[in-house]
Amino acid sequence: MSLTSNPLRTSNNRARLRMGVIAVITAIAFGTVVFHLLEGWSILDSLYVTAQTVTTVGFGDLAPRTIRGRAFATVFMMVGVGVVLYALSSAVQSIVQSELLATFGRRRLSRKMSKLRDHFIICGAGRVGSHLIRSLKDTSDTFIVIESNVQKVSSLMDAGVAVLVRDATLEESLRDAGVEHARGLAACLPDDADNVYVVLTARDLNPDIHIVARAAEEQAEAKLIRAGANRVVAPTIIGGHRMAMALTKPAVGDFLDSITANHLDLGFEQLEIEPISSFVGKRLSETTIRSQLNIVIVSIRRGNGEIVFNPNGDAMIQAGDMLIAIGNAESLAQLTALAKGQTAAVIGN
């Protein structure tokens, strides 16, 4: 679902404005050189006369004295003025069009955001947020970014990402992003205090939203949990654990990196077993999950919170169970459909 205006229009406006500026500079440089050669004036005097000509001010203390100089001046007056008028009209058109497009674009974006349901909100497009945005772009999920840095906003819009140029800590910004109807929110601001404000506000506006928050300092984790975050991610701590694993258990680290980078065409998925699913009431060994879909069930989280790690074939699947599975994307998509009670073409049939 696209939420942004076509960046091609903005690019065309910039190109037209750039061409106008180049045309004016080229005309002035050309006129300066020709006047210098025909009249024998200094470069400064030639530039002075050229500027008078293209701006329609007229000749004052200096005027062409030779026949060739006057002939060139006559032609240059018409051409130079035309170039300047073209540049001015392009500049005005680009500015007006950009403002109109920005105004209508904001209104259109606001209307579309008011219709959003089950989307994700990314607060902050810094180092952590930018990686999250790239990951979400590879999925079919709808998301919107709240960012106040103009340079980051420009880059995101050029990449086709829906952006609100706002302060994510304000309640109005979260409301405009549709937090009441969002499925999840990621607080990726660089300051822990700002992330606490975002989490508190989002939890108050939507008690059911799933919130993941970034913690720059380890001691901020408890505060973010109390504020209402479901999960807290501390990049420095995670980075330290991954470095320790890469140092002490390089084979395990390589395997995890391969899954994360999708080099093995494998991925993790969580899926909830609906009551109408054909899996309900069956043992794990009685399903096609391992035999035909070639998917490994890493764990089962029961409805009461119990977690069964590495379940064996005798593990009973119940309605409301959350399965954590690993496999290729196509098989995981089929397993998700089966878990919801939908029909899916099983690999190998």
- Give the CATH superfamily of 120-233: NAD(P)-binding Rossmann-like Domain (3.40.50.720)
Asked if 278 contacts 341 with a C-beta cutoff of 8 angstroms, the reply is: yes
CA distances from 153 to 98, 162, 174, 344 (A): 16, 9, 17, 41
The pLDDT score that the predictor gives to residue 2 is: 40
- Specify the domain boundaries for CATH 3.30.70.1450 within the chain: 265-339
Q: Return the CATH number of the domain spanning residue range 265-339.
A: 3.30.70.1450
What is the full DSSP assignment across 115-176?
Answer: T--S-EEEE--SHHHHHHHHHHHTSS--EEEE---HHHHHHHHHTT--EE-S-TTSHHHHHH
All CATH 3.40.50.720 domain ranges of the chain, comma separated, are 120-233
Q: Where are the beta strands (DSSP E) in 27-106?
A: none
> What string of DSSP letters covers 187-246?
E--SSHHHHHHHHHHHHHH-TT-EEEEE-SSTTHHHHHHHHT-SEEE-HHHHHHHHHHHH
Residues of the chain with pLDDT under 50: 1-8, 345-349
Question: What residue ranges of the chain are covered by domains with CATH 1.10.287.70?
Answer: 7-114
* Strand order across the beta sheet in which 296-301 lies: 267-272, 322-327, 296-301, 307-309
Assigned CATH for 7-114: 1.10.287.70
The label of the residue with tokens 């799933």 reads 210
Distance between CA 76 and CA 12 in Å, rounded?
A: 29
Tokens of 312: 């064996």
Nearest to 184 by CA among 217, 153, 130, 228: 228
Which tens digits make up the pLDDT trace of 326-343? Answer: 888 888 889 988 998 886
Q: What pLDDT score does 76 carry? A: 81
In 3D space, the residue among 44, 42, 127, 31 whose CA is nearest the CA of residue 75 turns out to be: 31
Yes or no: say if 325 and 268 are a contact pair by the CB < 8 Å rule.
yes
- Give me the residues paired with residue 214 across strands: 233
pLDDT per residue over 90-118, tens digit each?
777 666 656 555 555 556 666 666 678 88
Q: What angle do CA 299, 300, 301 make, to 5 degrees?
A: 120
Amino acid, single-letter form, for residue 201: T
The Cα 186–Cα 139 span in angstroms is 16
Q: Give every CB contact of residue 224 below 8 A, 6+ residues apart in sequence.
A: 187, 192, 195, 196, 199, 213, 215, 232
d(CA 81, CA 27): 10
**In 10 A of CB 175, how many CB atoms?**
13
Alpha carbons within 13 angstroms on the beta-carbon side of residue 192 total 16
| Res 8: pLDDT | 46
pTM above 0.85, yes or no: no
Upper half-sphere CA count for residue 308 (Cβ side, 13 Å) = 18
pLDDT, residue 69, reads: 81
Return the SS3 of 2. Answer: coil
